[in-house]
Chains A and B, each alone.
Chain A
């Protein structure tokens, strides 16, 4: 049904107003005296009431009016915002919402009856009625009209004024009628408002009587905020995003095509900069703060804790963290579910808590934060935690896992079992949760958008559910790998680490167990999948010792395996393009992309590869240590480090910065002046050798050295080391006395280890050649 522009705008604004109201109401419960909050709530309802009268929605108007009366009393301090009042106001909110929904669907208010609710709202005003009159009299005669008993009159004044105020064609938005009305009583201020003088003076006065006590508050401020923002259709933003994606591709191609031409270089660098900026801006335009969904939670927590008899305090952190709109939509349900779960299964009843020596009031914490290219959203409670034994027992009972395997699994992994379909440990099925369609739905929803979810729980202490959400869907970082003479893109999200196997070591490193290739990764067996054999089962394959092999250690939904490819190229940010259905059916590819060199590359789907190759959760028992290492960094807040040894001393390199590890003969190292550099097909990499590794093998060009290639800002740098020892989580160290966190060192495997300062690696003279055009340019502008 065609809805006129005005109604549509009214609906959007009213919904925003109600969202704001809901937020304020839950806050009000904690700070019942906060006049600012009451003022905010009042304005939301007042705006709705004013505009409805104008649009002719009588039912809505009547209900809003009843609420406004109650709020008016609250604002004047004649009533305090106690629990029943807030409950009543929340009911009002629901009532208004449902009418708005009806209007949206049918373009009419529907025939519902709100008498009960209105009556309830009037009852709530009762305590204030008697004293109210006195107060009103004391102020000014005109205010008598405001006395609650004078309801019908007021309804008339309130309804007619906005409609008259809006008569001048100058009033563009439904919000506009209210400011002049509220402002009118002071003629000087009214003149400042362009719309106000057009309103017949008498009517303004009439409205003034009713409106003045409502306080000519923060409305002007709200108006200016509205002027500097613009509503944009999401479809348009999507289209812009696609076009920017195209531009990124074209830019990549231009950069590659013009890199040799000095005249074009400056131009193409500028193109590069502008494209990057544009992309960021468009992505930003789609971003919305998580507070958009967090703000729904106080209400849910309030209602649920009341119906479940829990006492819960909600803490929210990182509300301003932004996330792509579509992703925000997608995590709304999982988040709600997680919150419900925490209240139902997590936080105990007050008595139980007290008996356990805990604060009878439980704490539910919502936290959003950035972590690299992800946003991490945590829902944590200090409740009973998940009983691992119960999980184990249940999993065995339901046949989700064998008893012997359950006995072997570490606690952490056992906990993740609750994400399996059909798992619920709730003793009784409540109407809140426990129907067995719980956590697997959370996981499915989060994984659908490329996120990850995991749970961490201590019995008796509480549970933390952690969702890692990518910042955007359309552009993902990927590693470009080569196999069967083609390029493929491997999403970085699934990539744990890379292992290079030189041809002469291939026979020894890759072991076969009756036809199943395996690799010993730090002492544990990792199942291998050869990409070429998987993709071309019929063709002849090169022997493993014929050329280099690279193992990309992947984690696909908890399944660890190594994907063996022939070569690695640089990581690239790729724009995901959908594939036609006939190719999607193959199952191995999740999309395609155009690389910087204009080549097409298929995007591999690690999950399907694992499935196709028969790698299952069960098969990675041996690899479970790898799993631990892969997730430990996320569990604690500690960083993971690559532990290296350079000329007898140990040092740590932040693992997040490590791009790859190269083993090469000393002869590959060249020098600019005294500075060692590595030449990778024209890309020059400065090599840091503070450990004296190069000096130690000087004069033996065939000696092998290891270079850890790291990311530092936009450039890449190499660190020369003699051995790569391990990957471990670093612990914090504090200066004695001051207790300040120390920089540059970390605790690795209980040893104080220096962290290599990547920023300290001196930049290359950029005009000659650079490792990265972007970095080069960035330096040029500085």
Chain B
């Protein structure tokens, strides 16, 4: 994880069409999370597993005096869990805070809405519910994640249903 990349300089550009996204990697895919939703990035954490929890729960981490529930993006995508330490994005959503477990956190990318495309129709049902479209980068895609859709509360309801 490049911590230097976290030093975010918000340039107040006139064009409202530009947005800054924190890029994270899980397996082969590059995902983007709007930096405005990120409270903090916790590097190499070892979440404590919670027996009997829904599969998407990556465990608990201690974060600033609170116990934070994490959502494992890997497990959400149906990928095998990864042993060892992982990076955590602490995200803020309507229901409170939660952690998003990812393989690694990359740099902050500035993307233009001109490069945005919605979810393709051939995407499977589960992923379509999680992703919020993609930005076309020069040599790859930045798959957008919507923190609200990753909220463990919401996932929990989907899980129960």
Is B49 interfacial (CB-CB < 8 Å)?
Answer: yes
**Contact present for B65 and A582 (CB under 8 Å):** no
Render B73-95 as a binary contact track against A, CB cut-off 8 A, 1 for contact: 00000000000000000000001
Assuming the contacts A579-B67, A583-B53, asked whether A600 and B152 have C-beta atoms less than 8 A apart, the reply is no
Does A431 sit at the interface, judged by CB under 8 A? no
Q: Are the CB atoms of A600 and B51 closer together than 8 Å?
A: no
A581 touches B67 (CB 8 A): no
Known contacts being A484-B51, A535-B51, A577-B67, is A582 close to B156, with CB within 8 Å? Answer: yes
Closest B residue, CB atoms, query A575: B65
Tell yes or no: A557 within 8 A of B by CB.
no
Given contact pairs A580-B96, A583-B50, A586-B53, A246 touches B153 in the complex (Cβ within 8 A): no
Stretch at the interface among A454-462, A591-599, A614-622: A591-599
A599 to B53, CA, bound (A): 18
A602 touches B50 (CB 8 A): yes
B48 within 8 A of A: yes
Nearest CB of chain A from residue B26's CB, rounded to whole Å = 21
Q: Are B54 and A592 in contact (CB under 8 A)?
A: no
Contact of A242 among B65, B96, B98, B156 (CB under 8 A): B65
Which A217-275 residues have C-beta < 8 A from chain B? 242-243, 245-246, 249
Q: Is the CB of B67 within 8 A of A592?
A: yes
Q: Given the complex of chains A and B, what is the CA–CA distance between A578 and B60 in angstroms?
A: 12
Interface flags for A515-539 (1: CB within 8 Å of B; 0: not) read 0000000000000000000011000
With contacts A242-B65, A588-B52 taken as known, whether A582 is within 8 angstroms of B57 at the C-beta atoms is yes
Q: Count how many pairs of residues, one from A and one from B, have CB atoms less than 8 Å apart in the complex.
A: 65
The distance from the CB of B155 to the nearest CB of chain A, in whole angstroms, is 7
| Contact of A681 with B by CB under 8 A | no
Determine if A354 is an interface residue (Cβ-Cβ < 8 Å).
no
- Contact status A245-B98, CB under 8 Å: no
Known A484-B51, A580-B153, A582-B155: A600·B57 in contact at CB below 8 Å = no
Is the contact region of chain A dominated by helix, strand, or loop, or is it mixed?
Answer: mixed
Question: What residue in chain A is nearest B61 (Cβ atoms)?
Answer: A600
Q: How far is the CA of A11 from the CA of B122 in the complex (A)?
A: 67
Do B156 and A600 touch across chains, with their CB atoms under 8 A apart?
A: no
Is B66 in the interface zone, CB < 8 Å from A? yes
B154 shortest CB reach to chain A, Å: 9
Instruction: Using CB atoms, name the residue of chain A closest to B56.
Output: A582
Are A535 and B66 within 8 A (Cβ)?
A: no
Summarize B's interface: helix, strand, loop or mixed: mixed
Q: Cβ of A246 and Cβ of B152 under 8 Å apart? A: no
Interface centre among A580, A594, A598, A602 (most CB of B within 10 A): A580
CA distance A593 to B57 in the complex (A): 18
> A780 CA to B156 CA in the complex, in Å?
53
Residues of A within 8 A of B152 (CB): 580-582
Give Cα distance in the complex from A555 to B48, angstroms. 28
Once bound together, how far apart are the Cα atoms of A667 and B160, in whole Å? Answer: 55
In the complex, the answer to whether B66 meets A577 with C-beta atoms within 8 Å is: yes
Decide if B48 touches A486 in the complex (CB within 8 Å). yes
Give CA–CA (A437, B49) in the complex, Å: 42
Size of B's binding interface in residues, CB under 8 A: 22
CA distance A728 to B69 in the complex (A): 45
Q: How far is the CA of A589 from the CA of B60 in the complex (A)?
A: 13
Closest to A245 in B: B65
Partner of A486, one of B49, B54, B66, B98: B49
What is the CB-to-nearest-CB distance from B159 to chain A, in angstroms, rounded to a whole number? 8
Asked if B62 CB lies within 8 Å of chain A CBs, one says: yes
What chain B residues lie within 8 Å of A577 (beta carbons)? 65-67
Q: Give the distance in Å from the alpha carbon of A585 to the alpha carbon of B52 in the complex.
A: 10
Which residues of A lie under 8 Å from residue B54 when comparing CB positions? Answer: 582
Chain A neighbourhood of B156, CB < 8 A: 581-582, 585
Select from chain A the residue with minimum beta-carbon distance to B54.
A582
Please give the distance in Å from B61's CB to the nearest CB on chain A.
7
Q: How many Å from the CB of B147 to the closest CB on chain A?
A: 15
Determine the distance from Cα of A591 to Cα of B52 in the docked complex, in whole angstroms.
15
Which of A243, A580, A591 contacts B98 (CB under 8 A)? A580
Q: Quick one: closest B residue to A591, CB to CB?
A: B67
Q: Which residue of B lies closest to A243 (CB)?
A: B65
Q: A580-B96, A588-B52 are in contact. Are A600 and B65 (CB under 8 A)?
A: no
User: Closest residue to B60 on the A side, CB-wise?
Assistant: A600
Scan A373-411; emit 1 where CB is below 8 A from any B CB, else 0: 000000000000000000000000000000000000000
For window 100-148 of chain B, which residues contact chain A by CB distance below 8 Å? none
Which residues from chain B contact A582 at a C-beta distance below 8 Å? 53-54, 57, 69, 152-153, 155-156
Q: A598–B62 contact, CB under 8 A? A: yes
CA distance A476 to B53 in the complex (A): 24
Asked whether A579 and B69 contact (CB < 8 A) given A594-B62, A598-B62, A600-B60, the answer is yes
CB distance from A64 to the nearest CB of B (A): 48
Identify the closest chain A residue to B62 (Cβ). A594
Bound form: Cα–Cα A591–B50 in Å: 11
* Chain B residue with the shortest CB-CB distance to A246: B65
**Chain B residues near A484 (CB-CB < 8 A):** 51
Measured CB to CB, the closest approach of chain B to A16, in angstroms, equals 35
Query: Is B50 a contact of A599 with CB atoms below 8 Å?
Result: no
Q: What's the least CB distance linking B134 to chain A, in Å?
A: 28
Residue of B52, B67, B98 with highest tally of chain A CB at under 10 A? B67
| Distance, CA A246 to CA B63, complexed state (A) | 11
- Cβ distance A602 to chain B, nearest Cβ, rounded Å: 6
Residues of chain B within 8 A (CB-CB) of A602 are 48, 50, 60
Alpha-carbon distance between A592 and B54 when the two chains are bound, in angstroms: 17
A581 engages B48 (CB within 8 Å): no
Residue-wise, chain A 487-516 has the 8 Å CB interface mask toward B (1 for contact) of 000000000000000000000000000000
Q: How far is the CB of B100 from chain A (nearest CB, A)?
A: 13
Would you give the shortest CB distance from A495 to chain B, in whole angstroms? Answer: 21
User: For the complex, what is the distance from the CA of A577 to the CA of B156, rounded to whole Å?
Assistant: 20
Q: How far is the CB of A648 from chain B (nearest CB, A)?
A: 47
B57 partner residues in chain A, CB cutoff 8 A: 582-583
Q: A580-B98, A580-B153 are in contact. Are A586 and B65 (CB under 8 A)?
A: no
For A585, what are the chain B residues with a Cβ–Cβ distance below 8 Å?
156
Residues of chain A lying within 8 A (CB to CB) of residue B50: 583, 586, 589, 602
Q: Is the CB of B61 within 8 A of A580?
A: no
State A535–B66 Cα separation when bound (angstroms): 24
Q: How far is the CA of A577 from the CA of B61 in the complex (A)?
A: 12
A594→B62 CA distance, assembly (Å): 7
State A594–B48 Cα separation when bound (angstroms). 11
* Cα separation A243 to B153 with both chains bound (whole Å): 27
**Inter-subunit contact A600/B66 (CB<8 Å):** no
CB-CB under 8 A from A536, the residues of chain B are 51-52
Q: Which residues of chain A have C-beta atoms less than 8 A from B155's C-beta? A: 582
Q: Are A580 and B69 in contact (CB under 8 A)?
A: yes
Contact partners of A591 in chain B: CB under 8 A: 67
Residues of A within 8 A of B153 (CB): 580-582
Closest to B98 in A: A580
Across the interface, name the chain B residue whose C-beta is closest to A531.
Answer: B51
User: How far is B56's CA from A583's CA once the two chains are assembled, in angstroms?
Assistant: 11
Task: Tell me the minimal C-beta distance from A81 to chain B in angstroms.
Answer: 55
Residues of A within 8 A of B65 (CB): 242-243, 245-246, 249, 577
- State how many angstroms separate the Cβ of A610 from the closest Cβ of chain B: 16
In the assembled complex, the Cα of A601 lies from the Cα of B65 at a distance in Å of: 14
Most buried by B among A246, A583, A592: A583
Chain B 38-53, CB-CB to A under 8 Å as 1, else 0, gives 0000000000111111
User: In the complex, given contacts A246-B65, A582-B53, what are 7 additional A-B residue pairs having Cβ atoms less than 8 angstroms apart?
Assistant: A486-B51, A582-B69, A583-B53, A583-B57, A583-B69, A600-B48, A602-B48
CB within 8 Å of A: which residues of B? 48-54, 57, 60-62, 65-67, 69, 95-96, 98, 152-153, 155-156
Can you give 26 A-B contacts (C-beta < 8 A)?
Answer: A243-B65, A486-B49, A535-B51, A535-B52, A536-B52, A579-B60, A579-B67, A579-B69, A580-B69, A580-B153, A581-B153, A581-B156, A582-B153, A582-B155, A583-B50, A583-B53, A583-B60, A585-B156, A589-B50, A593-B67, A599-B48, A600-B61, A600-B62, A601-B48, A602-B48, A602-B50
Sorted nearest first, the 6 A-B pairs with minimum C-beta distance are: A535-B51, A582-B156, A600-B48, A580-B69, A592-B67, A577-B67
